Structure 1
Amino acid sequence: MSYAYSVVPFSDLLHKPAMTAGLLDKVRALRLRRRDAGDLALMRVEQLDAEGTVVDFTARLLAGMVRRLGADAVRAVLPDAVPWVVFLPAADIDQFLVDLVEVTQGAAALENLAPVATLLDQWRNSAEIYADPVLMELVRQNPEGDFGPVPIPKAEG
């Protein structure tokens, strides 16, 4: 396998399923591009299982490192994995580590990586605010006046 994934139109899967699925001999996954909806991914079950094993291992390794080596050891290498962490205050880095261990372990147990991706996005957004004085000033400002009642969200359906 030479590439992580290849992008193909969703219609290829519908019109040429054998040929499209055969592309999985050359890549780990296919990204099925759709016009009016989010893209889909197609991969072999063996690949999915292998990736799940790696995620579970990584979650356990991270938790074990924090327990046995301490948060300082993990904090020291954190900028190698997420360079934006340097913009967070020390207390936030500590909280990020706690959150990362807990969410990664929970996500591995559920076999659902979405919470880890959400956590990383949230902390990266915080780092962006700390890194930009203009954004930081906007966040620190008190709103002027009352913006009125918040409407009740409409149910999607």
Structure 2
Amino acid sequence: MVTEVQWSELQRDPKLIAQLADQGDVRVRRRDGAALLLMREDRVQGQSDGAIAAARALRNVLAHLPADIAAAALIDEFPWIDLLPKTEQVLFVKEFARAFQASAELGEWSLLHRTVRDWRTTAQIYTDPRLVEQLSEPIDTDFGRVPEPEVD
């Protein structure tokens, strides 16, 4: 449960807001910026430990399943997996499990988000057989200097 308060309430009565945080998370709304989320450190640690345990369990489950069954288990959440060739589905499952565990252990979920986004983009490419053919052909020309990557 998340209790919402205004920034002015936090300034006016910080002890009350601390009591609310003892009962659950507190979202502090601000007019001039993104809301803040206050939560007790022990709850954060518990969530982190739980995420790591879940990530390890999922990795182990996916590792012990045949590749086609592991991919099928993820299709409900990621229906575009069906667009990937079987060999690519196997790679997705492995990368997903590794990224999930790394994200949980670091407490930084952008790695998992990036992995899913990149594979979804790969699946999109497979919807265009002409593009797949073009990207599968050998490259025998020099296209010049590669530009610096753009930051997301």
Q: Output one character per residue of 1:18-68: Cα deviation in whole Å (capped at 9) or x when no partner.
A: 1112223443x2222222222221111121011111110111112111222
Q: Which runs of 5+ in 2 are unaligned?
A: 133-146
Code of the residue aligned with 2:46 in structure 1: it is: A
Distance 2:8 2:88 in 1: 46
Distance 1:44 1:56 in 2: 19
Question: Which residue of 1 is the match for residue 74 of structure 2?
Answer: 78
Code of the residue aligned with 1:101 in structure 2: it is: A
Question: Which residue of 2 is the match for residue 145 of structure 1?
Answer: none
Q: 1:127 to 1:25 in 2, by over 3 A?
A: farther
TM-score normalised by length of structure 1: 0.62
Match of 2:49 among 50, 53, 61: 53
Question: Which residue of 2 is the match for residue 65 of structure 1?
Answer: 61
Please tell me whether Structure 1 or Structure 2 has the larger radius of gyration of its CA atoms: 2
Match of 2:84 among 80, 89, 97: 89
Q: Does 1:31 align with 2:27?
A: yes
Within a 5 Å distance, the mapping from 1:1-150 to structure 2 comes to: 3=1, 5-27=2-24, 29-80=25-76, 82-85=77-80, 88-90=83-85, 93-120=89-116, 126=121
Code of the residue aligned with 1:99 in structure 2: it is: E
Shift, 1:76, TM fit:
2.1
Q: Which runs of 5+ in 1 are unaligned?
A: 141-149
Code of the residue aligned with 1:18 in structure 2: it is: K
Secondary structure at the counterpart of residue 33 of structure 2: coil
Code of the residue aligned with 2:34 in structure 1: it is: G
Secondary structure at the counterpart of residue 34 of structure 2: coil
Code of the residue aligned with 1:17 in structure 2: it is: P
Distance 2:4 2:61 in 1: 37
Q: 1:94 to 1:43 in 2, by over 3 A?
A: same
Q: 1:37 to 1:99 in 2, by over 3 A?
A: farther
Q: 1:12 to 1:74 in 2, by over 3 A?
A: farther
